[in-house]
Amino acid sequence: MGFSTAAFAYLNYPTQIIFKCCKLIPVFIGELIIQGKKYNCIDFCVACLMSLGLILFTLADNQVSPNFDFRGYLMISVALIADAVIGNVQEKIIKKYDATNTEIVFYSYSLGVVYIFFFILVNGDLIHGFVFFFKNPWHTYGYVTAFSLIGYLGINLVLSLVKTQGALIAVTVTTVRKAITIVLSFLLFRKPFSMNYLWGGSIIFFATYLNLYNKNREKCKFFLYRCIGRIKYRKSRINKFYRSI
C-alpha cells in the first residue's frame, strides 16, 4: 500500500489504474512458487497479453511525458508483487487455520499500520504529517474521513455484489468502473494522450475477461447466451413494430 501510494508522485492516474489491473501476473507467479498450483495455456496467454498491454502503456507514457521517471514503475511493480505474495499467504492461512475474512483483514491492516508507523517515524515524515494536518484540518481530516468511508462502502458493495450476483457481474462492474475512471481522468484533467494508451488498455481489459471466462466457463456461456437472447428478442419486437406500421 505504501509503495502504491508513493507511486502517485511519479505516475499519472490512468497508468497506475492499468498496472493495478495487472495484479494477475504476480499472482500467477506467486501461486506457482508458494502454493504449487498448475495453470493451462489460457492462463499463460492472459499473462502474456497483460504484459503486452503494460509494455504499450509504458511506451505511451515514455512518449508523451517529458518527465518520465522509472521510479514510479519500480514502486508500483514492488507494490503488485507484495500484494500478490500477501494474497497467496492469506489464502494459505485461510485453508490451513480456517480463518475468517474479518480476521485476515484485521491482522493484515494492523501489521501494515505498525510497519508504516515505524517507517515514517524513522524518516521524519510523521512530524511533518502532523504539522501539515494541523495547518489544513478541513482539507486533510475531511479528505481522509471521506476516503475511508467511501473505501469501506466500496469494499462492502463489491463483496455484496459477489455474494448476490456472482463473480462475473462483480468483475464486469469493477472493470467498467476502472474504464470510466480512466476516461474521466483524461477528460477532466489536461494530460497528453497517445493511441498506445487505448491499445494497451483494450488488451488488458480483454485479458481480464479472458481470465474470467477461463475460471467460470459455464457461467460466462450462460451470461452470453442470455444477453444474445435478449438482443434477439428485442430485435424481433422492433421488427414486428415496423411491420405493423
Residues 6 or more apart whose Cβ sits within 8 Å of residue 140: 132, 133
Average pLDDT, stretch 34-40? 69
Under DSSP, the state recorded for 66 is T
Picking from 70, 66, 65, 57, the residue whose alpha carbon sits closest to that of residue 195 is: 57
To 10 degrees, the CA torsion angle through 176, 181, 183, 189? 170
Helices (H), 98-136: 101-123, 125-135
The pLDDT of residue 21 is 67
Average pLDDT, stretch 83-88? 70
CA distances from 15 to 3, 46, 183, 191, 210 (A): 15, 19, 12, 12, 21
Cell numbers for 32, please give them.
506457482
Regarding predicted confidence, which is higher, 67 or 130?
Answer: 130
The pLDDT of residue 193 is 72
pLDDT at 232 over 70: yes
pLDDT cut 90: percent of the chain above it:
0
Q: What is the pLDDT of residues 197-218, one digit of tens each?
A: 778 778 877 877 777 777 666 6
Residues 6 or more apart whose Cβ sits within 8 Å of residue 205: 21, 175, 179
The pLDDT of residue 79 is 80
- pTM greater than 0.75: no
Q: What is the pLDDT of residues 140-162, one digit of tens each?
A: 888 888 888 887 787 777 666 66
The pLDDT of residue 221 is 66
Look at residue 89 and give its three-state secondary structure. helix
137 alpha-carbon distance from chain centroid = 30
Picking from 207, 101, 222, the residue whose alpha carbon sits closest to that of residue 168 is: 222
| pLDDT bucket at 222, cuts 50 / 70 / 90 | low
Compute the C-alpha angle 155/147/156, nearest 5°. 15
Q: How far apart are CA 218 and CA 225, in angstroms?
A: 11
Q: Are 79 and 7 in contact (CB under 8 A)?
A: yes
The pLDDT of residue 178 is 72
Look at residue 147 and give its three-state secondary structure. helix
pLDDT at 32 over 60: yes
